[in-house]
C-alpha cells in the first residue's frame, strides 16, 4: 500500500512539474523548449521578437504594410503580434510564404510545421535561441505574424519603438485594406519560361 501511494505521489509531482514548465516558451520547440534565456528579461525578449519580425518583413519584396497589434505576457514569456494590412491574394500566398520560409531557413530557424491549407496556410518555426515564430493567414486572407519567447526574467514590457508601415488603428486592425500591384494580383506569380 505504501509503495502504491509513493508511486501515485511521484506521478502527481511529475504531472504538476510538467504543467508548470509548459507555461514557459510556448512558441519554442525541441531542445530549447521551456528553457530560460540567461540574463534576458521580458523587455529584452520583446526587443528580440521585434528584431525577428523586422528582419522577416524586410525580406518581403515588394514591401508590405503592417501594423503592430499587441503583446501578451505569460508567467515567464512574452509574445508580440503584428497584422499585415496588404491584401495578399490566394494566388500569391504561396509565394509570400515561400519568401518567409526561405529567409527563416537561411537564418537557421527550424521549420516545425507547414500548414498547406488553401484558405489559411501557416508556417511555424523556432529560432536557434528558442523563440517561436509563425506566419498565418486568416479571415479574408489577412496575414498575421507572432513571436513568442522562451522563459525569461520578469520585467515590464514597452511597446515597439519602430513605426509601423501601415496606419495606426484603435483596437484590433480591420481586414486587409491596402492593395499591392504584386501581392494583391489574382494571378499566380509568373515563373521562368520553360526551355524548348
pTM above 0.75, yes or no: yes
For the chain, the domain total comes to: 1
- Residue 195 in domain: no
Asked if the model's pLDDT at residue 113 lies above 90, the reply is: yes
Q: Which band of pLDDT confidence, cut at 50, 70 and 90, is reported for residue 12?
A: very low
The residue segments making up the domain with residue 158 are: 24-188
- Residue 119 in domain: yes
Nine cell digits for residue 186: 489574382
- Residue 15 in domain: no
- Residue 10 in domain: no
Candidates 135, 166, 133, 165; CA nearest to 48 is 133
Per-residue pLDDT reduced to its tens digit, 45-102: 999 999 999 999 999 999 999 999 999 999 999 999 999 999 999 999 999 999 999 9
- Residue 13 in domain: no
- Residue 194 in domain: no
- Residue 75 in domain: yes
- Residue 19 in domain: no
Q: What angle do CA 31, 117, 77 make, to 5 degrees?
A: 35
Strands 36-41 and 151-153: parallel
Amino acid at each position: 500500500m505504501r509503495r502504491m501511494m509513493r508511486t501515485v505521489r511521484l506521478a502527481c509531482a511529475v504531472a504538476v512539474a510538467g504543467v508548470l514548465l509548459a507555461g514557459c516558451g510556448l512558441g519554442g520547440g525541441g531542445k530549447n523548449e521551456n528553457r530560460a534565456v540567461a540574463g534576458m528579461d521580458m523587455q529584452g525578449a520583446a526587443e528580440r521578437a521585434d528584431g525577428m519580425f523586422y528582419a522577416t518583413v524586410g525580406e518581403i519584396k515588394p514591401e508590405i504594410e503592417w501594423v503592430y497589434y499587441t503583446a501578451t505576457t505569460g508567467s515567464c514569456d512574452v509574445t508580440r503580434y503584428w497584422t499585415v494590412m496588404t491584401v495578399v491574394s490566394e494566388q500569391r500566398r504561396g509565394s509570400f510564404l515561400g519568401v518567409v520560409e526561405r529567409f527563416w531557413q537561411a537564418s537557421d530557424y527550424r521549420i516545425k510545421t507547414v500548414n498547406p491549407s488553401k484558405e489559411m496556410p501557416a508556417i511555424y518555426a523556432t529560432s536557434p535561441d528558442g523563440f517561436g515564430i509563425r506566419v498565418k493567414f486568416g479571415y479574408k486572407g489577412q496575414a498575421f505574424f507572432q513571436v513568442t519567447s522562451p522563459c525569461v526574467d520578469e520585467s515590464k514590457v514597452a511597446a515597439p519603438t519602430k513605426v509601423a508601415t501601415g496606419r495606426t488603428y484603435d483596437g484590433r486592425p480591420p481586414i486587409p485594406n491596402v492593395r499591392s500591384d504584386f501581392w494583391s494580383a489574382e494571378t499566380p506569380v509568373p515563373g521562368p519560361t520553360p526551355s524548348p
